[in-house]
Amino acid sequence: MSDILQNYINGGWCDSASGQTFVNENPARRGSVLNRAQASTAEDVEAAIGAAATAFKPWSRTPVSERQAVVARFLDALATAREELARIVSLENGKTIGEARGEVDSALLEGRHHLQQISVFAGESAPRAEGSITAWEQLHALGVIGVISPWNYPMNVMCRKTLPALLTGNTVVFKPASFTPWSAVFMAGLFEKAGLPAGVFNCVSGLGSTLGNKLIKHPRVRAISFTGSTEVGRKIQLLAAEDFTRTQLELGGKSALIVLADADLDAAVEATVKAGFGCSGQWCTSTSRVLLAAEIAEAYTAKLLARCQAMKVGDPLDAATSMGPVAGPTQFDGISAAIAKAKAQGARLRFGGVSDNAEGYYILPTVFDGVTRDMAIFHEEIFGPVLALSTVRDLDEALTWANDALYGLSSAIFTKDLASAMRYVREIEAGMAHVNIHSGFKTPELPFGGWKESGFGLPENGKTGLEFFVERKAVYVG
């Protein structure tokens, strides 16, 4: 792979019209240069949309089986490249090599789900004969789709959007996050290898603030599938609404884990560590608030602190590392500021904080307790390895506190009581509810999407993963 990553437009590799590049830094080594990526301009986005628009008609008329064959080849190439790609993801994102392998595996699992689903989805047909009229519903691809993704799951999120878009006959212009251009360019290479026709998939790197408007407001772009912060999602939604451009927005979270008095505490602590500190707390579904029944708060906290003590924070490529750095300087500064604010507002720091290891952007697994509902740490998404522990009286109070959030992405409860578990499932205001399982668990057959300010539009995966990318036409033949 060259030290300069290029854009992939109309089946070819090219530099940005700007002639400018930006540095892709390894977050485990401050100031390092992994490679440089194109600092693209609106002109480059225009070229990519033009290519995708031209490719749309032939691609949308390609038989489903042929589209499936290309995507199957892409998934084979992805499986073959698992180790190489996991290393790239780990190097530019900072997640551990094991977590990066897990990301590739998740993309393969979801990709195979969509590959199978399309046969059923495209084949659904129930024409009705009513008197002299025969009627049916016909599926049509939308056209050019803008895919905008975050850096935390740089290849998995783009696959979860791009593969259903392509399988349903659309063409794509993809803008990756600026922290993770390498895995994006690598994925473009896999599409090329799989023999995807020119223009069907295009990748343009650069700043969202520079490229976003062009992509969202372009008359040939029919839909935007975005994953990222609620703040940027709101901006996209406002712009897209003016032109009735369809949107699918997967946004921020502040997921709560409830631990009741009868819970298996060891299992609850393991789930907290997994979903609180996995990928350095940078899952959208990360557990960030823990609501503890008063009876077990002390015992749970002691076990959690012992687990934090045993965690090894450091080089993400070292197999012994349990947590790598956070993704970059912006993340590091934001998390550091949130930790300082939590202390200033009276939350009690029980473990962690900013690491002394200044080689990379390291934050230790961090635990605050004594957190109350008036504190910023209870409400604001930190997107880092920072847990806010609060004590609650009972399930009533736990549910009130858990639902006291603008976000509603994921959640979990640990209890042995079926009635409590089922009441939580009924009353939690979130797109995902987990009983005795950590808040990040998901499978591709079920929808992946948030409630409230955590999401908008049809969820990814599940039954709607393909639906977002089609129009339906009612046909009547007399």
Residue ranges that bind ligand NAD, judged by CB under 6 A: 148-153, 157, 175, 177-178, 208-209, 212, 227-229, 232, 235-236, 250-253, 284, 381, 383, 409, 450, 454-455
Residue from 39, 37, 52 nearest 6 by CA: 37
Nearer to ligand NAD, 228 or 360 (CB): 228
Phi and psi dihedrals of 326, rounded to 5? -80, 170
Nearer to ligand NAD, 152 or 272 (CB): 152
Q: How far is the CB of 223 from ligand NAD (least distance, A)?
A: 14
Which amino acid is it at 14? C
Helix (H, G, I), strand (E, B) or coil at 276: helix
Nearer to ligand NAD, 171 or 454 (CB): 454
Query: H-type helices in 33-155, by residue range?
Result: 42-60, 64-80, 82-93, 97-123
Q: How far is the CB of 49 from ligand NAD (least distance, A)?
A: 14
Paired sense of beta strands 201-203 and 171-175, if any: parallel
281 Cβ contact list (under 8 Å, min separation 6): 288, 326, 382, 383, 384, 385, 386
Nearer to ligand NAD, 369 or 380 (CB): 380
Q: How far is the CB of 197 from ligand NAD (least distance, A)?
A: 25
Q: How far is the CB of 287 from ligand NAD (least distance, A)?
A: 13
Q: Token digits for 204?
A: 């343009």
Angle between helices 97-123 and 64-80 (to 10 degrees): 170
Which amino acid is it at 96? T
DSSP secondary structure letters along 278-336: GGGG--TT-EEEEEEEHHHHHHHHHHHHHHHHH--BS-TTSTT-SB---SSHHHHHHHH
Active-site annotation holder among 159, 203, 284, 308: 284
Helix (H, G, I), strand (E, B) or coil at 456: strand
CA 11 to chain centre: 26
User: Which residue number is nearest to ligand NAD in terms of Cβ?
Assistant: 208
Nearer to ligand NAD, 101 or 442 (CB): 442
Nearer to ligand NAD, 235 or 423 (CB): 235
Q: How far is the CB of 283 from ligand NAD (least distance, A)?
A: 7
Q: Token digits for 65?
A: 């089986």
Nearer to ligand NAD, 120 or 238 (CB): 238
Q: Token digits for 17?
A: 């019209």
Instruction: In whole angstroms, give the CA distance from residue 61 to residue 460.
Output: 24
Phi and psi dihedrals of 206, rounded to 5? 150, -175
Q: How far is the CB of 431 from ligand NAD (least distance, A)?
A: 8
Nearer to ligand NAD, 263 or 409 (CB): 409
Q: How far is the CB of 53 from ligand NAD (least distance, A)?
A: 20
Q: Token digits for 344?
A: 């200033």
Q: Token digits for 299?
A: 């015992």
Q: Which element (helix H / strand E) includes 17?
A: none
Which amino acid is it at 465? G
Helix (H, G, I), strand (E, B) or coil at 85: helix
In angstroms, the first-to-last Cα distance of the chain is 59
Q: How far is the CB of 172 from ligand NAD (least distance, A)?
A: 14
Q: How many CA atoms lie within 13 A of 179 on its CB side?
A: 25
Instruction: In whole angstroms, give the CA distance from residue 307 to residue 320.
Output: 15
Active-site annotation holder among 110, 250, 380, 381: 250
Q: Are 368 and 342 in contact, with CB atoms under 8 Å apart?
A: yes
Nearer to ligand NAD, 184 or 466 (CB): 184
Residue from 8, 34, 2, 45 nearest 185 by CA: 8
250 is catalytic: yes
Q: How far is the CB of 65 from ligand NAD (least distance, A)?
A: 30
Q: Looking up tokens 């200033």, which residue turns up?
A: 344
> Known catalytic residues?
250, 284
